[in-house]
A and B are shown apart, each in its own frame.
Chain A
Amino acid sequence: MVDFSRVQKELQECNRDINVSGISVNPKSDNLTNLIGTIPGPIGTPYEGGTFKIDINLPDGYPFEPPKMKFATKVWHPNISSQSGAICLDILKDQWSPALTLKTALLSIQALLSAPEPDDPQDAVVAQQYLKDYQTFASTARYWTESFAKISSLGVEEKVQKLVEMGFPEGLVRSTLEVVGGDENMALEKLCSA
């Protein structure tokens, strides 16, 4: 059985400094073995501005066995499967230690977002793109963040207004936004390069 008194302590500790870390863990059901963690996308990365949800499953041996974690939010990253959300991270496997907690594991995942390891990939397609064509990788990652990890993205009208204020004609702004699927960053890139 999972050591639930420890899990409860962890939840409190983690949610106490949520304003500092931005990381939260909340139970999904009432038996404390299924939890949902959220991490903010690190600043200065294509994941910036996104909020990523992570599915946490505690095995019977927790904390002596690593928690099972995978992304519930779709994410474009060399070490995270774009299909299943599976994470390739040593501390979630053989480098786990009972002194680690759900919060420290989530912090490591956040660090993984800012420092991908393309040589040890989980998703070969993404890793290849990362190595061969970083620009495309970054814009895809940004697009995925925009599409899947934004809790409250700007409304279409606000985006249009923002871009029009930058000096682009409204008609072109609307059509470009439509082409890129509503991503204002990508639209801006496209408008600038046009």
Chain B
Amino acid sequence: MAFDIKFCNLKFVSDLGDERKCDHNMTPSIYLNLTKLHYLGSIYPKTDPNGSPLESLDRRKRSLKYHCTPDRKIRPVPSKRNGAAMNRIENDPAGGGCDNAGNDELEEFSDEFKCCVCLDLIYKPVVLACGHISCFWCVFEAMDYWHESHCPVCRHSYNHFPTICWLLHSVLLKLYPKDYQRRERQVSADEKTNGTSSPQFENPTNPTISNDKTTKNVAVGDLLCTVCKQLIYRPVVLNCGHVFCETCIVDSCDGPCRCPMCQSMHPNGFPKVCLVLEGFLEQNVPEEYCVRKTAVNNRKGVTIPGSTQVPEGGQCSSVSIEEYLSNPGRTKVHFGIGCDFCGMYPLVGDRYKCEDCLENVGLDVCENCYKNSSNLSGRFNQQHKPDHKFKIVEPRPIIFLSSEFPEEDHTHVSQEDQTDDDSSHNSHQDLEGGEDIGPTS
């Protein structure tokens, strides 16, 4: 997966330690050996070199992907009724004409299944290592271009984009079929205008939930852990999207744990219990869950992996981005590029790009996945075939547009406020003004 980075407002220090300011005439090759990045965002005066993203660049990134959302007019809010009724009224204009069908009987979904980013029912759920859930696109959009990303809810850091949890997807589809289908229509309409695509539910190895329409409850048989063959107790969701009992995951001391089902690594630290899923299990099959609970609690001498202190973050299959920044000159970072297989974003190390995938988003994998996985597939529904050829691609050069870097003192004297605002405004205009100078890749 790749998105264009064309413009940024960066200053860099080369290997030799000399500081350069860049203008657009400098040749890209000069920048290949970037070692240390300094963010000089005038919007974020408190930003430290390894801190948060530059606002203006971030905005470029967003607008690249956001250009599609149609302009929507506000509708007067009729009256204060309950949440579901409001949602119903609300969703009409939001989703365009195609949403109207079947809107008359939308289910009222539980707040637990409301995505904290789009504030709608979670669609194609992705569970982060901290156990918090968001929609596929919401997680993707919220990820950091330059550094490790942070969970929107708890700010837990991670640098691998997890795969969709298909079990949770089926559960949601079962619980709220109409609302979930409404979301599906909405998202696929957005994807169509965006020219993007999210994974489709087709993999036969993923657990499915029987589509028995007579009952709203999900059968216990569909909620089994593939390791212990029992009802999942304290569910954890791995980077590959598979769900297991917390106790069934082997916590290997040397390196990240692996998925017992697909053997892929879980690089985002030891996974935390997904409380929303646990809450669902407790509610959906209370008796069976209670039985499991007592059974596990009675088993003496079993340590719950989560209770042994696992250091937070930092356990990655590859060199972490922060490590790279503090340890320059060793590895390459491909800003804005992610590994399609393990989800590492940005991609660190050698980047293998598929030469035959024609989708805009492209298909890239990291060195580790390239060497260790035989059956590579894309994360954005790319039509990748095993006979496709890969080539190693160097990090893309970063073109610097703004030659002026306003050094900003954090403490303002009130009279200066107005001028500060003006200067930041100007720098945005500079960025946008030079739009056509960047490379197209």
Q: Which 6 A-B pairs have the closest CB atoms?
A: A61-B62, A5-B94, A99-B152, A94-B52, A84-B417, A1-B69
Count chain A CB atoms within 10 A of each CB in B73, B74, B120, B150 and give the residue with the most.
B74
| Chain B proximity of A99: nearest CB distance (Å) | 4
User: Would A8 and B94 count as touching, CB distance under 8 A?
Assistant: yes
Q: Which residue of B lies closest to A84 (CB)?
A: B417
- CA–CA, A167 to B410, complex, Å? 50
Residues of A within 8 A of B58 (CB): 61, 64-65
Bound form: Cα–Cα A65–B141 in Å: 11
Instruction: Please indicate the chain B residues that have their CB under 8 angstroms from the CB of A120 in the complex.
Output: 410
- 13 sampled A-B residue pairs with Cβ under 8 A: A6-B119, A11-B77, A64-B58, A64-B141, A84-B418, A90-B46, A97-B152, A98-B141, A98-B152, A99-B117, A122-B412, A122-B414, A124-B413
The answer to whether A12 and B74 touch across the interface, beta carbons within 8 angstroms, is no
Separation of A192 and B61 alpha carbons in the complex (Å): 61
**B45 to chain A: closest residue by CB:** A93
Q: Check A59–B59 contact: CB distance below 8 A.
A: yes
Q: Which A-chain residue is minimally distant from B81 (CB atoms)? A: A16
List B residues 137-186 near A (Cβ within 8 Å).
Answer: 138, 141-142, 150, 152-153, 155
> Which residue on A lies nearest to B66, using beta carbons?
A1
Check B69 against A3 for contact (C-beta < 8 Å): yes
How many residues does chain A have at the interface if contact means C-beta atoms less than 8 Å apart? Answer: 44
Q: Chain B, 39-83, contact with A by CB distance < 8 Å: what is the 0/1 string?
A: 000011111000110010011011100111101111101001000
Q: Mark A80-101, 1 if CB is under 8 A from B, else 0.
A: 0111101000100111011101
Q: Does B415 contact A (CB under 8 A)?
A: yes
| In-complex Cβ contact of B74 among A8, A13, A59, A90 (8 A) | A8
B432 to chain A, nearest CB (A): 11
In angstroms, Cα B78 to Cα A15, docked, is: 12
Within 8 A of B (CB), among A4-38: 4-6, 8-13, 15-16, 27, 30-32
Nearest-neighbor residue (CB-CB) of B142 within chain A: A98
Q: How far is the CB of A150 from chain B (nearest CB, A)?
A: 23
When C-beta atoms are compared, the residue in chain A nearest to B114 turns out to be A9
* B76 CB to nearest chain A CB (Å): 11
| Residue B403, interface by CB 8 Å | no
* B227 at the A interface (CB under 8 A): no
Asked if A184 is an interface residue, CB under 8 A from chain B, the answer is no
A121 and B44 form a contact (CB under 8 A): no
Please name the residue on chain A nearest to B77 by beta carbon. A12
Interface pair A97/B150, CB less than 8 Å apart: yes
Q: A23-66: contact bitstring with B at CB < 8 Å (1 yes, 0 no)?
A: 00001001110000000000000000000000000011101110
A180: interface (CB < 8 Å):
no
* A146 lies within 8 A of chain B by Cβ: no
Q: From the candidates B61, B72, B417, name the one contacting A32 in the complex (CB within 8 A).
A: B72
Which of B43, B62, B63, B412 sits near A93, CB closer than 8 Å?
A: B43
Chain A CB within 8 A of B116 CB? yes
Residue in A6, A61, A124 whose beta carbon sits within 8 Å of that of B118 in the complex: A6
In the complex the two chains form, what is the Cα distance from A187 to B243 in whole Å? 68
Indicate whether B15 reaches chain A with its CB closer than 8 angstroms: no
In the complex, residue of chain B having the shortest beta-carbon distance to the beta carbon of A1? B69
B91 on interface, CB distance cutoff 8 Å: yes
Q: Give me 11 other A-B pairs in contact (C-beta within 8 A), A12-B90, A30-B74 excluded.
A: A4-B71, A5-B95, A60-B62, A64-B58, A65-B55, A83-B418, A94-B51, A94-B52, A97-B155, A99-B117, A124-B412
The reply to whether the CB of A183 lies closer than 8 angstroms to some CB of chain B is no
Q: How far is the CA of A94 from the CA of B410 in the complex (A)?
A: 13
Establish whether residues A83 and B77, one from each chain, have CB atoms under 8 Å apart when the complex forms: no
The answer to whether A5 and B417 have CB atoms under 8 Å apart is no
- Check B71 against A16 for contact (C-beta < 8 Å): no
Q: A1-B67, A61-B59, A98-B117 are in contact. Are A81 and B412 (CB under 8 A)?
A: yes
Q: Determine if B421 is an interface residue (Cβ-Cβ < 8 Å).
A: yes
Closest Cβ–Cβ distance, residue B43 to chain A (whole Å): 7
- A60 nearest CB across to chain B (Å): 5
Chain A residues positioned under 8 Å from B372 (CB to CB): none
Contacts of A179 in B (CB 8 A): none
Contact partners of B90 in chain A: CB under 8 A: 5, 8-9, 12
